[in-house]
Chains A and B, each alone.
Chain A
Amino acid sequence: MSWVCRLYRSSLGAKYVMATTGLLLFGFLIAHLLGNLQIFAGPDAVNSYAEKLRSLGPLLWVARIGLLVIAGVHIATAMKLAKANQEARPVAYAKVTHRAVKPATKTMVLSGLVILAYVIYHLAHFTWGVIQADHAHLEEELGGGATRHDVYSMIVLGFQTWWVSASYLVALVLLALHLCHGITSVFQTFGLHHSKYACAIKMAGPAIATLIFLGYASIPAACWLGLVKLAEAQ
Chain B
Amino acid sequence: MYYVKVQRESLDIPSHLAELWNDNPRVGAVVSFVGLMRDINAGEQVTAMTLEHYPGMTEKALQRIVDEAGKRWDLEDIRVVHRVGELQPTDPIVLVAVASSHRGEAFRACEFVIDYLKTQAPFWKKERTADGERWVEARHSDHNAEARWKA
The answer on A and B forming one complex is no
A binding-site residues for B, Cβ under 8 Å: none
